[in-house]
Structure 1
Amino acid sequence: MNERILIVEDEIKLAHLLKDYFTLEKFASYCIHDGAEVVDWVKENQPSVILLDIMLPNKDGMQLCQELRQFTNVPILMVTAKVEEIDRLLGLELGADDYICKPFSPKEVVARVKAVLRRINGNYQVNSSFALDQNRLKISFSGQSLELTAVEFYLLKTMFKESGRIFTREQLMQHMYEDNRIVSDRTIDSHIKKLRKKLATLCPEREIIHSVYGVGYRLDVDT
């Protein structure tokens, strides 16, 4: 594998344990224990996935997630002991792609990272006047392109493959999260809200994602 995993964790023993597990799976993994060092490292090294703890010295994970999203769409998995819904939603609003809650099994973490990479690796897809570039997490329309986060891209791809179909929130969650975890409907709404805002910059004259009252969402790229 060529994927590079950045582990941002101030519990040094835990970080090195995760590193060992990723090494066994043939990933190249790197550890950072201080939040202040993360942004410069990411700019210079371009990891494939970032495991980002929330509680860090000098700069916390929430702030880092927001800063990273200013220049990269690399998948970010927030690692946290905080399980309150508001923390989850805040992380998603800032651009996180997934959550891993402590305590966890290192094997679970590796599996979740593999799941993210499976979702984003693939070929160039075209439908109507839109094109999805899965290798670069981009969508293009009439010569304009737009970068998405991994979870935004996978959500769009799921709806894109069946344009016109109405998806319930539960169906979208089942497609997005392979481990059948229980998440709030508001999590999907949060992603849809951000996705709509981004799509509006690409084609402001069209509404691509429609809300179907009492049911869910429908994507329409053919009108």
Structure 2
Amino acid sequence: MRKRILFLEDEPVIQEVLAEYMKMQDYEVFLVSDGEKAIEALEKSVFDMAVLDIMVPKISGLEVLSFIRKRFPDMAVIMLTALGDEQTQVQAFNEYADDYVVKPVSPIILLKRMETIFRRVRPLETVQKGLWIDREGYQAYFNGTALELTLSEFLLLETLYEEPRRVFTREQLILRIFNEDYIGNDRIIDAHVKNLRKKLPGNFIKTVIGVGYQFRQEG
């Protein structure tokens, strides 16, 4: 499976060049240009590594690093920044950054550092904490253990998981799961939610009375 990289960088030229080199090494790269978007991406998706610039708009890369360590302590993180002072480097390593790279940097050297970290850490799927979704494999995991879900249950969970701030109506969930092929009562969603709740190791699905369902981030 291709490794997924969250790349936080607000300088377009650096973003474009380094992302292109990562893709050439068959990494799947998700680009964001400010810290808020980085955290939103982390809340919605699973990444094997984050490469973070520090001086970015809205929320700094160091704050994103702190968020990662609280929520995903085993995720690999490289700080990529023009700040080469000792104080900033110490702060990053105190938050358990795996590496600290000062710009400008050769794309080849950055890729080699990424490879080194991936050789050193265990595969993320064996250590990822909490609930996460493998879209390509149609599989949900909790603390690295696969959950035994039907396809409909997986698609329902995936839909809620990917947009945790959104409340979905039953009709919207039917369209996500069955497209337009389903003919029948929309209460089929209630049955799937009931079965899914029995299989999940926490209360991850919130009922919004009069509307539908929403993903609960803290199960």
Give the TM-score of the pair, scaled to structure 2: 0.55
C-alpha change, 1:95 and 1:24, in structure 2 (3 Å) is same
Structure 1 residues 21-69: Cα deviation after superposition (integer angstroms, max 9, x where no partner): 0111111111100111111201211110100000000111111111221
Query: Residue type matched to 1:63 in 2?
Result: E
1:85 aligns with 2:86: yes
Which residue pairs with 2:108 in the alignment?
107
The answer (yes or no) to whether the contact 1:2–1:28 under 8 Å persists in 2 is yes
Which residue pairs with 2:43 in the alignment?
43
Aligned residues: 129
SS in 1 for 2:70: coil
The CA distance in 2 between the partners of 1:62 and 1:121, in whole Å, is 23
The CA distance in 1 between the partners of 2:66 and 2:86, in whole Å, is 18
Any unmatched runs of 5+ in structure 2?
130-142, 144-219
The answer (yes or no) to whether the contact 1:7–1:30 under 8 Å persists in 2 is yes
The answer (yes or no) to whether the contact 1:120–1:134 under 8 Å persists in 2 is no
Which residue pairs with 1:153 in the alignment?
none
- Equivalent residue for 2:127, pick from 105, 128, 136: 136
The answer (yes or no) to whether the contact 1:120–1:137 under 8 Å persists in 2 is no
The CA distance in 2 between the partners of 1:23 and 1:38, in whole Å, is 19
Q: CA RMSD in A?
A: 2.2
The CA distance in 2 between the partners of 1:88 and 1:134, in whole Å, is 29
The CA distance in 2 between the partners of 1:31 and 1:79, in whole Å, is 14
Percent same amino acid among aligned pairs?
26
The CA distance in 2 between the partners of 1:28 and 1:6, in whole Å, is 9
SS in 2 for 1:7: strand
Any unmatched runs of 5+ in structure 1?
123-132, 139-145, 147-223
Which residue pairs with 1:187 in the alignment?
none
SS in 1 for 2:52: strand
Alignment of 1:142-221 (within 5 A): none
Which residue pairs with 1:2 in the alignment?
2
The CA distance in 1 between the partners of 2:125 and 2:56, in whole Å, is 32
CA shift, 1:134, in A, is 9.9
1:22 aligns with 2:16: no
Give the TM-score of the pair, scaled to structure 1: 0.54
CA shift, 1:135, in A, is 4.0
Which residue pairs with 2:66 in the alignment?
66
The CA distance in 2 between the partners of 1:116 and 1:99, in whole Å, is 12
